[in-house]
Structure 1
């Protein structure tokens, strides 16, 4: 059955269709939540709550993006909400100090570095860099989307991604026994 047909049935509160939609996307959404939360129980909770929110707000789904992308955004937001709730305090960003940063897309890593290795290294960075980098490099969001998700400005997103890339590159070089790329 097509996703669009399942969505229409879900909008009519068809529980069987909701289960089918859940089964289709649950594994992927769990992985997304786990990348942020790094805890199986919390990732499962974020994924479940994301689905509950999605089914409750299904009438808002316009189809401008795929259902998977729409749901992914909900799960990411739920994961970030859980992180914020645990931290209870966020470090405010002083944009005047950060200034404007150009996107630096001209950087390379060694051929032997895998995506899993990069994900692991990103998770070891300070939180202020970790989440913008994950959203940018792993999830594929642009700076406007990142600014909306993290509730920061686009300038802050660009700055954090830029600085995060530099830190990531330094970590990867260090792990490669100090050799350059």
Structure 2
């Protein structure tokens, strides 16, 4: 059965098709939620809530983007909602190895080779919450500023500004943690 056929069946509340779609995407969406939410059980809850919302809003899915991208946006939104409600900190970078962090094509900065993945994770976790969200969504999840503005309910200008400031703080924290005195 084609993906579009499965989705159409899901729109008709076909439980078998819903289970098939769930099985196809649950592991990947769990990984997305886990990057935001620390606890494995909480990440599972976020994914469950995201699927419930996705199935209830499936009539709004118009195939302008792939189903996976549409669902991922729901999972990210649910993760952020969960974190806001619990006032928990974001978990950064589970399996991503960063040597270059770039925000724009012309705006690259290198992370010193001595800086470890744990240093980067710690530095992102120490960022103010409003910067954490934008840094995670842009650098880790790969969203652009238009998408971030929709997800967080801020303007694109605010997204760019928060990313810029978050990157500066992140770079400063990584430099300070590495050298102890800064530049």
TM-score (norm 2): 0.79
Contact 2:135 2:166 in 1 (8 A): yes
Question: Shift of residue 127 of structure 1?
Answer: 1.1
Contact 1:121 1:168 in 2 (8 A): yes
Give the CA RMSD over aligned residues. 2.5
Q: CA 1:117–1:18 in structure 2 vs 1: closer, same or farther (change >3 Å)?
A: farther
In structure 1, the partner of 2:149 is 147
CA distance in 1, matches of 2:162, 2:16: 43
CA distance in 1, matches of 2:118, 2:48: 25
CA distance in 2, matches of 1:42, 1:119: 20
Structure 1 gap ranges (5+): 88-101
In structure 2, the partner of 1:106 is 108
Structure 2 gap ranges (5+): 88-102
In structure 1, the partner of 2:91 is none
CA distance in 1, matches of 2:163, 2:152: 12
Q: CA 1:11–1:171 in structure 2 vs 1: closer, same or farther (change >3 Å)?
A: same
CA distance in 1, matches of 2:60, 2:29: 19
Q: CA 1:119–1:2 in structure 2 vs 1: closer, same or farther (change >3 Å)?
A: farther
Question: Shift of residue 116 of structure 1?
Answer: 7.2
In structure 1, the partner of 2:163 is 161
In structure 2, the partner of 1:127 is 129
Give the aligned length.
167
Which deviations, in whole Å up to 9, do the C-alpha atoms of 1:50-69 show, x marking residues without a partner?
00000111111111111010
Q: How does 1:64-103 map to 2 (within 5 A)?
A: 64-87=64-87
Greater strand share, 1 or 2? 2
